[in-house]
Structure 1
Amino acid sequence: MSRAVQFESFGGALVVREVPEPQAGPGQIRVRVTAAGLNPMDWFMTSDAATAARFGLSLPCGFGTDYAGVVDQVGDGVTGFATGERVFGGAMSRAVADHVLIDVDGTIAKGGDAHRTPEGIDDRTAAVLTIGGCTAAAALAVVRPGPGDTVLIGGAGGGVGVFAVQLARRAGARVIGTGSASSADALRVLGAEPVTYGDGLADRVRALAPGGITAAMDLHGTDTAHTARALGVPDARITTIAAVVPGITPANGASAAPGAIEEIASLIAAGELRVPIAASFPVEEVGAGLELQAGRHVHGKVVIEL
């Protein structure tokens, strides 16, 4: 038997259940999961039955998308992976489990995906890369930050923000990041100049950047996008990930360029990007991990260990 975290009802409690141990079929690998990273999409997709149906989910339903572990079974026809290899990737709403089946030609949303974990990255770190890293890469591809840019990033301390801030800085841009007062030090460590969100944001940004801002990424809602518009940023250089604003191009991790997540993993392995882990929980305490992550005030990533 194998353990899997599942919902009894959408929006209800998570439970750890014993389930039959899955077996890799043709074109699949089985991964023994050692760690799973949590993202806002995990609880949003499963918040109620209607939302779950939009994402093609039905009960019994698992939980979590980001995972890391070791290949322990290879199905017929698979040549790109071998047992014993460390891998990470995404498997939508089924990652928090002892074993996850991955279609080697699949996608995060359909069949899952897998990438080799570089030497120098532990499984806890690898387990938080896929959704946050791909989404950040997609957001940067929309706004194209570079030298001479001043970029406003809303939700800069969140799971996507920790990647977006550092990638924008690597591209040569100055970064102003919104967050709570308690996140200021964490944002400075990432390379952002902190500014508190909320009423009066535009005035605070003007004070920090009298010459104006040139691009914006709203990684939380729409407030940063509307503030950027008010400060004269053209729609073509604004993006959102968690909401749709007419005229502004949204970013989605599924549209990240091929190889984007491998490049991010290589930078982390080389010590050129850092991934703050805010907290980790054993699988038996997955509910506490979900509660912390869903509060949207955690500075960094939340990991479930199996």
Structure 2
Amino acid sequence: MQQSSVNRAVQLDSFGGPEVLTVREVPVPQAGPGQIRVRVAAAGLNPMDWFMTSDAETGKRFGLSLPCGFGTDYAGVVDQVGAGVTGFAAGDRVFGGAMSRAIADHVVIDAGGTIAVGGDAHRTPEGVDDRTAATLTIAGCTAAAALAVVQAGPGDTLLIGGAGGGVGVFTTQLARLAGARVIGTGSATSADALRALGAEPVVYGDGLADRVRALAPDGITAAIDLFGTDTVQVARDLGVPDKRITTIAGLVDGITSANGANAAPGAIEEIAGLVAAGRLRVPIAATFPVDQIRAAVELQSGRHVHGKVVIDLL
């Protein structure tokens, strides 16, 4: 495979907002023993990307030091294989996560690594394009982990706070595939998007508990808060036991929080398979070329996007 001598990478020299992000040309990394190098075609944005790099204290908690890269979800093609790697070959289409370094023309991944340590890679199924594959890892694993906490299934009425966001589009559809009824919170303008995912929309904000009661007079049985903690309080007010409530972005005493790193083995491959089979749809709200990274992050961090934001690198 022809190898490029150019390697653009999004980097930052100081922690902060989108204004600190810069696209630079840096040396092309080389795959060492046990590693593969991926020519990245697309990278998906997640709230964790800009949260981790927002300030020095948060960056330190995630093990980041300056200068550092940006972005975690990626998809592309293996273009170099290091010694000792047997599970991948040049030309393989792959997707995965490489914490805070994925938005670059080339990324080196440990063949047996994790998202946080060395990065991880999974084969992209036939029929799944790179833009879609680049949205799967963080949001898919987080959704799977959240659903594992509350164990939603047939007979459940599940309230999802932030159902139309990047994680919400996965959580809602996976819950519906598991047989649960889903009531999803969002803005008034998100109603059609939520219905398209299989959720019954309800507007968030003051009076949410009363609106949920009107939709589900027999009550709700589980809740997932994908935005903060407001949905947790409403679920408690409606009698949902703490063991059937989870959060991903807020900590509440007595509530088990969900972390994508704790998703069951094989969860992301199962999700990718559902996408390939046409059973799970990933709405992509916007795509941007890499040189417009600041505008892309500004849009995504506004938290009003219905679906995923993707950076194109080809």
2:225 maps to which of 206, 215, 218? 218
Q: Which residue of 1 aligns with 2:10?
A: 5
Q: 238, 250, 254: which one pairs with 1:247?
A: 254
Give SS of 2:24's match: strand
Q: How many residues align?
A: 306
1:39 shift after superposition: 0.2
- Structure 1 CA distance for aligned equivalents of residues 271 and 21 of structure 2: 31
> Match of 2:36, SS?
strand
Task: Please tell me the residue identity of whatever aligns with 2:9.
Answer: A
| Equivalent AA in structure 1 for residue 280 of structure 2 | L
Q: Where do 5+ consecutive residues of structure 1 fail to align? A: none
Within 5 Å, give how 1:279-290 maps onto structure 2: 279-290=286-297
User: What do you get for the CA RMSD once the two structures are aligned?
Assistant: 0.6
Q: Distance in 2 between matches of 1:13 and 1:251?
A: 30
Aligned: 1:141 with 2:159: no
- Report the Cα distance in structure 2 between the residues aligned to 1:98 and 1:51, rounded to whole angstroms: 26
1:280 aligned counterpart, secondary structure: strand
Alignment partner, residue 119 of structure 1: 126
TM-score relative to the length of structure 2: 0.97
Distance in 1 (CA, whole Å) between partners of 2:202 and 2:35 is 46
Equivalent-residue separation in structure 1 for 2:49 and 2:208 (angstroms) = 29
In 2, the alpha carbon distance for the partners of 1:59 and 1:19 equals: 15
Give the equivalent residue in structure 1 for 2:3: none
Deviation at 1:8, TM superposition (A): 2.7
How far apart are the structure 2 equivalents of 1:265 and 1:32? 20
Q: Which residue of 1 aligns with 2:213?
A: 206
DSSP 3-state at the match of 2:87? coil
Is 1:154 the counterpart of 2:161? The answer is yes
Report the Cα distance in structure 1 between the residues aligned to 2:177 and 2:118, rounded to whole angstroms.
Answer: 33
- Structure 2, unpaired ranges of 5+: 1-5
SS of equivalent to 1:271: coil
User: Amino acid of the residue matched to residue 129 of structure 1?
Assistant: L
Deviation at 1:9, TM superposition (A): 1.1
What SS does structure 1 have at the residue aligned with 2:22? Answer: strand
1:178 corresponding residue in structure 2: 185
- 1:274 matched residue in structure 2: 281
Q: How far does residue 49 in structure 1 lie from its aligned partner after superposition? A: 0.9
Deviation string for 1:225-250 (max 9, x for gaps)?
Answer: 11100100000000000011110100
Matched, 1:49 2:56: yes
Question: Match for 1:294: what amino acid?
Answer: S
* Equivalent position amino acid for 1:61 in 2: C
Residue by residue over 1:49-72, the C-alpha shift from the partner in whole angstroms, topping out at 9 and shown as x without a partner, is: 111011000111111000000000
C-alpha displacement of 1:206: 0.4
1:106-165 deviation digits (Å, cap 9, x = unpaired): 110110000000000000000000000000000000001111100000000001100000
Q: Distance between the aligned counterparts of 1:289 and 1:223, measured in 2? A: 27
Structure 1 Cα separation of the partners of residues 11 and 123 of structure 2: 27
Distance 1:199 1:267 in 2: 36
1:26 is aligned to 33
**Equivalent residues in 2 for 1:158-169 (5 A)?**
158-169=165-176
**SS state of the match for residue 29, structure 2?**
coil
Where has structure 1 moved over 2 Å in runs of 4 or more? none
2:68 aligned partner? 61
Q: Aligned-pair distance for 1:13?
A: 1.9
Determine the C-alpha separation between the residues in 2 that align with 1:226 and 1:74.
50
